[in-house]
Amino acid sequence: ALGQDDAIDEATREYLLTSLAEADRDEWREIAEAFLSPELAEKLLALAPAEGVGMEPTRLSSLAAPVSISAVVVAAVPALPVETKAWERPTPGWERPKPGDEACSRKDKGVQAPRKDAPREEAIVTVRQTRQGENNSQARVLNVDIKDLSVSFGGRSLMTDAHLRLQGGHRYGFVGANGAGKSTLLRLMSARRIPGYPDLETLLVEQEDVGDERNPVETVLSANRSLSRLRREEALLTRGLVEAGAAVAAHQELLLGRAEVRVAELELDCRRLLGARGKEASAGLLQAEKEVAKLRRGFQEAKEKPAASDDEAQAVSAACASLLEDVKEALADLNEERLRAKAVKVLLGLGLQGEQLREATSGLSGGWRMRVAIAQALFLEPQVLILDEPTNHLDWGSMIWLEEHLATLDKIILVVVSHDRQFLDGFSTDILRLAKGQLHVFKGNYSDYETTSALLHRSVEKEEQKHTSVGSVRRRRTAAPLEFDHDVHLFLDVGPKLRWSGTPMQCRGLVLGYPGLQLTSAFDLSLDLTSRVAVIGHNGSGKTTLLRTLSLEHPPLAGEVYIHPSLRVGYFSQHQAQELPFDKTCLEMLTAFGEGVKEMEAKEHLASFGLDERHAKQKIGTLSGGEKSRLALARITIKQPHILLLDEPSNHLDLLTVVALGDALQAFEGGILLVSHDRRLIKEVCPEAHQQYLLDGGALTRADGLSKFVRSVKVAVKKDAHG
């Protein structure tokens, strides 16, 4: 609720007058006393009609600019923070956003309020109404079909009259340039805040949770809202029957909880439904809010004083006992043991084993918590499942397992954003592309999409040869629905020529590890400006330690690393984007990091990584994850290195930037040592089997090829799956 010092501003006043247009003064008082502080309740009642008199509906404000369609429904949608627990619906107690509110929801109620220092931005969503004034949701039909969808955010148009069409049984790889609006659309879908969106359970997994005292199995089980609700009700009713005088309060609390769930469901319907069904939902919501207010008063009274008589206490106890029997019967029907076995199976598939299954999730690393979040979504089997970059924190086995598991999901709608092209190839039946404010669907996986695009470009080139009119060619390019948006062209410049005929980087008798933990036996390794080396291996085998040791950031347990004094080494850590100075601008960081780098040179270098002048003057802390990763790459290459040491460089980059990175690395005239789970990137940079090394069992050896390694991982995954 609003605080005592809050005032009713003009926007909130307009909202209240519109929402409560048909309510009388008594209804105003009920809502005010239930939700607001006494001071603010009096301010609200000052706007209410006289005793026993209703109000005429207030005329809504006109749009600031004309709209080209005849009937438009507008929904102002607060920006959802990345901390949102994607598998939760709005929890009971969630408040309808009001114009002018800084926080769009209650804290700790499933959707967190934005930071105080964050700009107050919201997505504006519009769709065309049908002729009947109803929505096209086709309730419970596994299909999403929304036409003339327009979305803007922060004053910038992301989609204009787009057609969002998703079919049941299809698995979509979602691609588009960084900043095109993919994440905004996915969050709107998961919150079901697009008018006309169907009544389908929609879950988004985009970032790991912070964790709590529960172990992974209990955390996954808690995602089943029916199980969690029944467990809470069982504990509540049991306590009410055991503790003296607690039955009345327990009974009232149970009824209040169920009523709040109903309010949350009606809140969703009010945002989703159009026309007559939307009005019906709004009327139902108003009635449900009255019931919640009444139950809250009853609950408060029950806590303050027990039952008035023994007969009343016995009657309430009998009601609680009957409800408890119903709850236990519902729990038996759910079969918690079967659900627990399913949760364990999913967690094992994602690589969690033994002690990890019993450890509190707050004690797990970010990567393992991400797997728990994915496990919750896979466990629930929603009708629409959305995964945003799910492979960023997965090892080889978990990535292969997830890829194969997703390929079996043929009874839901699956939408996955990923920078890993071969991962998309493994399960996608269609590619959904967002470009130039429009959504297009193409049959086949990502490789099929690339083939289609290549054919299109060849046809455009032929047209250019036939026509000399530059304008007509430009118009055909703009209208081409398959054309890629290559907005990032990375360029990696090598350092000055070395006056040295020997090998500039040599490792002799090198042993990797930490005090008390030896990771490898002794090995030799040499790198020069022609080297192309990819190191593959399971998590924990020492790949990151190898790169840190070669960059002289970490000392070896034995042996030595020789680096020629004139050799420039650029090291990209997979966590480097999180270690940037967030209080500085991109320009300030580059000019300080690169000795003797002029401002104009720094701007040109940033531009080559898709960071224009606006980004150059931005504080690093305000950049997106993909922009931070590009900046980290720009930082290590500003000094023109001779050899690049790259640890998972594609993580957090959008797919088109990964494509550009692969092209840039192929064109780079220096040496490269690459650690990555991206199979396409490895094949592009280190295509030959002799360029691929395996770090496994403490030994660094030449691999027999990436394909053989992946086959061995698949065999191990199947073996684990069969116990």
- Residue-wise pLDDT for 159-186, tens only, equals 999 999 999 999 999 998 877 888 889 9
The two structure tokens encoding residue 411? 């009874």
Is the residue at 443 inside a domain?
no
Is the residue at 477 inside a domain?
no
The two structure tokens encoding residue 311? 């007969």
Q: What was the pLDDT predicted at 570?
A: 94
351 falls in which pLDDT band (50, 70, 90)? confident
- More confident call, 32 vs 501: 501
Q: What is the pLDDT of residues 478-487, one digit of tens each?
A: 444 444 444 5
Q: Which of 62, 83, 115 is the last residue of a domain?
A: 62
CATH number for 656: 3.40.50.300
Is the residue at 532 inside a domain?
yes
Is the residue at 509 inside a domain?
yes
535 pLDDT above the threshold of 80: yes
Is the residue at 324 inside a domain?
no
CA distance 89 to 172: 23
Q: What was the pLDDT predicted at 507?
A: 95
260 pLDDT above the threshold of 60: yes
Q: Calculate the CA 125 to chain-centre distance.
A: 19
Provide the terminal-to-terminal Cα distance of the chain, rounded to the nearest Å.
Answer: 52
CA distance 534 to 710: 14
**Angle, CA of 181, 483 and 487, to the nearest 5°:** 55
CA distance 139 to 132: 16
> Can you tell me the mean pLDDT for 503-523?
95
Q: Do residues 372 and 405 lie in contact, with contact meaning Cβ atoms separated by under 8 Å?
A: no
Q: What was the pLDDT predicted at 412?
A: 93
The two structure tokens encoding residue 259? 């009523």
546 pLDDT above the threshold of 80: yes
Exposed (0-12), middle (13-18) or buried (19+): which is 604, by Cβ within 10 Å? exposed
Greatest mean pLDDT among 43-47, 142-146, 428-432, 455-459: 428-432
Q: What was the pLDDT predicted at 27?
A: 61
Of the candidates 648, 705, 691, which has an alpha carbon nearest to the alpha carbon of residue 525?
A: 691
Q: What was the pLDDT predicted at 292?
A: 87
Q: What was the pLDDT predicted at 160?
A: 92
Token pair 């118009």: residue: 475
Q: Which of 62, 83, 106 is the last residue of a domain?
A: 62
CB atoms within 10 A of CB 300: 12
What is the pTM (predicted TM-score) of this model? 0.70
Looking at 108-122, 132-146, 271-285, 491-505, which range is the least confident one?
108-122
Those residues with Cβ within 8 angstroms of residue 95's Cβ, 6 or more apart along the chain or in another chain = 1, 35, 105, 106
- More confident call, 93 vs 286: 286
DSSP for residue 88:
P
Those residues with Cβ within 8 angstroms of residue 605's Cβ, 6 or more apart along the chain or in another chain = 590, 597, 634, 637, 638
Long-range contacts of 354-362 (CB under 8 A, 24+ apart): 356/216, 357/215, 357/216, 357/217, 358/215, 359/215, 359/216, 360/211, 360/212, 360/213, 360/214, 360/215, 361/209, 361/211, 361/212, 361/214, 361/215, 361/216, 361/219, 362/210, 362/211, 362/212, 362/213
46 pLDDT above the threshold of 80: no
Q: Which of 11, 36, 62 is the last residue of a domain?
A: 62
102 falls in which pLDDT band (50, 70, 90)? very low
> Can you tell me the mean pLDDT for 671-684?
95
Those residues with Cβ within 8 angstroms of residue 722's Cβ, 6 or more apart along the chain or in another chain = none
613 falls in which pLDDT band (50, 70, 90)? confident
> Using H for helix, E for strand and C for coil, what is the string for 25-85?
HHHHHHHHHHHCCHHHHHHHHCCCCCCCCCCCCCCCCCCCCCCCCCCEEEEEEECCCCCCC
> Can you tell me the mean pLDDT for 233-253?
85
> Can you tell me the mean pLDDT for 252-262?
87
Secondary structure of residue 415 in the 3-state scheme: strand
* Tally of structural domains, the chain: 2
- More confident call, 110 vs 334: 334
Q: What was the pLDDT predicted at 488?
A: 65
Average pLDDT, the chain: 78
592 falls in which pLDDT band (50, 70, 90)? confident
Greatest mean pLDDT among 27-31, 497-501, 642-646, 688-692: 642-646
Question: b/e per residue, 177-195, with b = 16+ CB within 10 A?
Answer: bbbbbbbbbbbbbbbbbbb
Looking at 354-368, 375-389, 599-613, 629-643, which range is the least confident one?
354-368
70 pLDDT above the threshold of 80: no
Q: In terms of DSSP bridges, do strands 558-563 and 384-388 run parallel, antiparallel, or are they unpaired?
A: unpaired
Token pair 């049984």: residue: 169
Q: What is the pLDDT of residues 484-500, one digit of tens each?
A: 444 567 889 999 988 88
205 pLDDT above the threshold of 70: yes
CA distance 706 to 234: 53
122 falls in which pLDDT band (50, 70, 90)? low
> Can you tell me the mean pLDDT for 455-466?
72
> Can you tell me the mean pLDDT for 356-378?
83
**Angle, CA of 87, 231 and 343, to the nearest 5°:** 50
Is the residue at 561 inside a domain?
yes
Exposed (0-12), middle (13-18) or buried (19+): which is 110, by Cβ within 10 Å? middle
The two structure tokens encoding residue 412? 């839901």
Q: What was the pLDDT predicted at 700?
A: 94
Q: Calculate the CA 353 to chain-centre distance.
A: 25
691 pLDDT above the threshold of 60: yes
CA distance 479 to 473: 10
Is the residue at 560 inside a domain?
yes
Q: Do residues 319 and 343 lie in contact, with contact meaning Cβ atoms separated by under 8 Å?
A: no
Is the residue at 598 inside a domain?
yes
1 pLDDT above the threshold of 50: no
Full domain range(s) for residue 540: 505-721
The two structure tokens encoding residue 381? 């089997």
In the chain, what percentage of residues exceed pLDDT 70? 75
Q: What was the pLDDT predicted at 705?
A: 86
Q: What was the pLDDT predicted at 106?
A: 32
298 pLDDT above the threshold of 60: yes
Q: What was the pLDDT predicted at 192?
A: 83
Q: What was the pLDDT predicted at 394?
A: 82
Q: What was the pLDDT predicted at 58?
A: 36
449 pLDDT above the threshold of 80: yes
Looking at 120-134, 437-451, 676-690, 707-721, which range is the least confident one?
120-134
